Amino acid sequence: MPWSDLRLLKLLFLQDLRSLLGYPSLWITLVMLSLLVGYSFVQAQDLFSQASRTALAYPELGSGLNPVEAVFVPTMGAYYLVETLLLPFVVIRLAGQDRQTGSLKLLLQLPLPPVMLNVAKLAALSVAGMLLALPALAAILIWHYLGGSVYGPELATLLLGHVLYTLAIFCIALFAATVSATPASAAIICLAVTLGSWVLDFAVSSGDWPAWLSRSSLTSLLRQFETGLLSSVDVILFLSISALFFYAGAIFLPTGRRLFDRLRGILGGMLVFGVIVWVAVQYPAYRDTTENRRHSFNPADERALKALPALLDISVHMNRDDSRLYDFERSVLSKLRRLVPQLRIRYVESTSQGLFGAPENDQYGLIEYDYEGRHDQSYSTSPREVLPLIHALAGQKLLPDPVPAYTGHPLVVDSAVSAWVFYVLLPFLFLYSAWLFRHPKLFLDVSGDLNHEDR
Partner 1 sequence: MPETGELFSCQGVSRQFGSARVLSDVGFSVFPGEILGVIGPNGAGKTTLMECLTGLAPCEVRSLCWQGRGFSPQEASRYLYYLPDGVLPYPDHLVIVVLRFFRQLYGASVERQGYLIKRLGLEAVLDKRVRALSKGYRRRLLLAIGLLSSQPLLLLDEPFDGFDLRQTLDIMSLLREMLTHRPLLLCIHQLSEAQKICDRFLLLNEGRVVALGSLDELRAQAGLREGGLEEVFLALV
Q: Which residues bind partner 1 (CB under 8 A)?
A: 8, 11-12, 15, 18-19, 22-23, 97, 101-103, 105-106, 108-111, 254-259, 440-441, 444, 446, 448-455
In the complex with partner 1, the residue whose CB is nearer, 35 or 107, is 107
Q: How far is the CB of 446 from partner 1 (least distance, A)?
A: 5
Q: How far is the CB of 91 from partner 1 (least distance, A)?
A: 16
How far is residue 195's CA from residue 185's CA, in Å, rounded to a whole number?
A: 15
How far is residue 52's CA from residue 61's CA, in Å, rounded to a whole number?
A: 9
Q: How far is the CB of 271 from partner 1 (least distance, A)?
A: 24
| Neighbouring C-alpha atoms within 13 Å toward the C-beta of 191 | 13
In the complex with partner 1, the residue whose CB is nearer, 384 or 441, is 441
CA angle, residues 343, 344, 345, in degrees to nearest 5? 120
Q: How far is the CB of 316 from partner 1 (least distance, A)?
A: 57
Please state the φ and ψ torsions of residue 295, each to the nearest 5 degrees.
-100, 10
Q: How far is the CB of 242 from partner 1 (least distance, A)?
A: 27
Decide: 333 and 367 in contact? Cβ < 8 Å: no
Q: CA dist 143 to 51, 138, 249, 320, 412, Å?
A: 16, 9, 40, 40, 11
In the complex with partner 1, the residue whose CB is nearer, 256 or 309, is 256
In the complex with partner 1, the residue whose CB is nearer, 106 or 195, is 106
Q: How far is the CB of 10 from partner 1 (least distance, A)?
A: 10
How far is residue 360's CA from residue 381's CA, in Å, rounded to a whole number?
A: 20
Q: How far is the CB of 258 from partner 1 (least distance, A)?
A: 4
In the complex with partner 1, the residue whose CB is nearer, 16 or 69, is 16
In the complex with partner 1, the residue whose CB is nearer, 103 or 361, is 103
Using N-to-C axis directions, what is the helix angle for 24-57 and 115-145, rounded to 10°?
30
How far is residue 125's CA from residue 172's CA, in Å, rounded to a whole number?
A: 13
Residue 31 makes CB contacts below 8 A (sequence gap 6+) with 426, 427, 430, 431
In the complex with partner 1, the residue whose CB is nearer, 249 or 410, is 249
